[in-house]
Copies of this chain bind each other. A is one copy, B any other.
């Protein structure tokens, strides 16, 4: 007996047959005596169709009206799921973000949840219903409809789980769990039974697309155990994500991830004057360009200049090019190198905290493979190296071997890894 929140993504509710399958998954937990809340995304194709419609009207729609348009996606899938559960003779009710009490910031297309009033969800649960909630959406002041942006539905699920003090939040998708490495590269990648929030966060940030960091952060803050599991293999338990204090640490490195969606920017000969870097990164923040892996070299004594290197998402490259002239003005040089032919290879593990030598082992392994490291960044439980894109698989295979991330058997993964 407990409270379980389940979340199903767009591919899991893509058509009526799959929606019936989700109904089974919900009833499976209900029949064990649990109270069940199901959070759903829009059906796979709905979102694309709605975007297409809006593009026929305008190429720069207002964010407020886009939220109004896009929020219908979940309303369709959730009402159909309620019907599918009712068709089996069980009681269910679907709730919009507003009805479920999901309050967000006053901001469109990327709002964050600020509060959930779970009284209506709880009332329906206590009446024995399976409660279905629209993921990805909420309301801000004055009942304005907002959407949560990338990773929104996972975040809805974890936030609701926190608000109703659920025992677990299960994220169902078409992968069977969290793997030590990408099974498309390392055929013998192993599914992890458990991973800590901290490790999952680092893996998510460096390119493992299983979960969005937002949802993991929320789960960690509220101590909600999460499970990543397959909507097509309901008996499979997937991977449990819990606090590091509940984990027994065996290996220093838990997982490995590659991310080829970044571009490296190197600005050479920047005059070494206080405030230059601040101005540069302020400008990038202003333009909503997220920056990662920042490195500033020591100032050269000879001409009092240094080099600043950082990575940005390929998606932001157009925005960056539009402000290049402005940047020239700030850094007083036009010596800027842009390189998109790169991959970031990262290893993550809470076990590396007290074990020295992990970084050295990583660098040695890449050196032995004759792979040049272009940039390095580290956190307490993560080491990332930037390498040429052509070496992505070679680096991953070598590191998986050295850090014992490849299993004896070939991983059995169907479908693409979801992009959150």
Contact = CB atoms under 8 A, between A and B. Distances in A.
Contacts of A58: 83-84, 86-87
| Number of identical protomers | 2
Given A20-B57, A53-B76, A57-B16, A65 B87 contact: no
A363 B54 CA distance: 57
A143 interface: yes
Contact of A57 (B50, B83, B93, B142): B83
B99 A83 contact: no
A143 B80 contact: no
Given A65-B82, A69-B76, A57 B143 contact: no
A19 interface: yes
B98 A143 contact: yes
B94 A56 contact: no
A76 B50 contact: yes
Contact of A75 (B19, B68, B82): B68
A76 B42 CA distance: 14
Interface in A32-62: 50, 53-54, 56-58, 61-62
Give the interface centre of A68, A82, A98 by most chain B CB atoms within 10 Å: A68
B69 A19 contact: no
A96 B68 CA distance: 9
B87 A78 contact: no
Contacts of A20: 57
The 5 closest A-B pairs by CB, nearest first: A16-B56, A72-B72, A68-B79, A69-B79, A58-B87
Interface of A: 15-16, 19-20, 50, 53-54, 56-58, 61-62, 64-66, 68-69, 71-72, 75-76, 78-80, 82-84, 86-87, 93-94, 96, 98-99, 120, 142-145
